[in-house]
Chain A
Amino acid sequence: MSTDREILQLYREGGREQAFRLLVQTYKERLYWHIRRMVLDHDDADDCLQNTFLKAWRSLENFRGDAQLYTWLYRIATNETLTFLTRQQTRGEYAGLDAADRLPSDSWFDGDEVQTVLHQAIAKLPPKQKAVFLLRYFEEMPYEKIAQVLETSEGALKASYHHAYEKVKTWMKASLEAKY
């Protein structure tokens, strides 16, 4: 794995494509899982991930280096995925919820009952709150970093995460109670 500094140095020395390939190799997996947990469906995650790196390719020359590549890429990926979810929502097909409903029959999902209920509960969160919850809960990203990714204050993020966590717990309990 290459560091951000190595990638940027290679890029500035003229190895544009090579540097970009290194960037993709370094971050594709982490970004894929971040996106996948937001959209749930593999094909949608693939689209969003490709769009994320496409945007990164186009704007890498303008990257000023005042943030880490990691934060910068997470910001692009999160915005790209939020845009995707919003677009689906305005079209009347709430992608998150539809994909959540399809989870038990999704061939690329092996989760047990609790995991299914957990992701169905997360899918009910408003898009931005969902991003906060996923970054904190699954990736254990520090609030400081989440604030940089989502360009929000740490205080607002903490409150948002707390609300999201409580909602998810309540929905999960309600869902499991209804089943038994």
Chain B
Amino acid sequence: MQSKKRMNERMDIDFDRIKTDNPFRIPEGYLASFEDRLMARIAAEEAEASQEKRPRPVWRILKPALTLAAMFALIFGMGYGVLSLTHTLDRGAGTAAEGYASAEEELIRPISLINYYQSDNPVEESTELDEETLIDYLATELSFADLAEIYAQLY
């Protein structure tokens, strides 16, 4: 019965009263110290923000570009080195072939041939021999066996 009475009292909610009585409390000195705490936080956040905004040293800005340039230079250098080496080998091979050819030419020079078979009476190296003289010489002075030997040496 008493409980019912209490309930009825509670049900008669006085909305005007309960809104004026503030049931919340705050720690002592909270509002008085609020500004200082807030300003300290603002100062800390601004210091942090300015730290983030500070310009980076020039080398740090250029570092990626320099790294890229160095890599290009390295790749170019390596490429150039490989190409140079290949070219030198080709050139070397060419020189050897040319030397071989010139030796062959030397071997079959008409005066050399004549002097080979006529060592007792050599012809001057500077002597100019035309084709006809050579053929005459070969026809008159050399036997068929000598000509076959020369042919075998040349081919």
Contacts and interface: CB of A to CB of B under 8 A. Distances in A.
Interface residues of B, number: 27
Nearest to A54: B42
Contact of A138 (B19, B31, B39): B19
Contacts of B35: 21, 24-25, 28
B3 interface: yes
B31 A29 contact: yes
B54 interface: no
A75 to B, nearest CB: 19
A161 interface: no
A37 B25 CA distance: 11
Interface residues on A, range: 35 or more
Contact of B34 (A28, A172, A180): A28
A173 B38 CA distance: 41
Contact of A173 (B11, B19, B37): B11
Given A29-B31, A118-B18, A180-B10, A50 B41 contact: yes
Contacts of A54: 38, 41-42, 45
Contacts of A25: 35
A53 B23 CA distance: 25
A43 to B, nearest CB: 10
Interface stretch (A64-72, A90-98, A107-115): A107-115
Contact of A112 (B6, B23, B45): B23
Interface string A139-180: 000000000000000000000000000000100110011011
A69 to B, nearest CB: 16
A36 interface: yes
A180 B18 contact: no
B20 to A, nearest CB: 9
Interface in B30-49: 30-31, 34-35, 37-39, 41-42, 45
Q: Is chain A's binding surface mostly helix, strand, loop or mixed?
A: helix
A119 B7 CA distance: 19
A121 B25 CA distance: 20
B23 A115 contact: yes
Interface of B: 3-4, 6-7, 10-11, 13, 15, 18-19, 21-27, 30-31, 34-35, 37-39, 41-42, 45
24 contacts: A17-B39, A21-B39, A24-B35, A28-B31, A28-B35, A32-B26, A36-B24, A42-B24, A50-B37, A54-B38, A54-B41, A54-B42, A109-B24, A109-B25, A111-B21, A112-B23, A114-B13, A115-B21, A115-B23, A137-B15, A138-B19, A177-B7, A180-B4, A180-B6
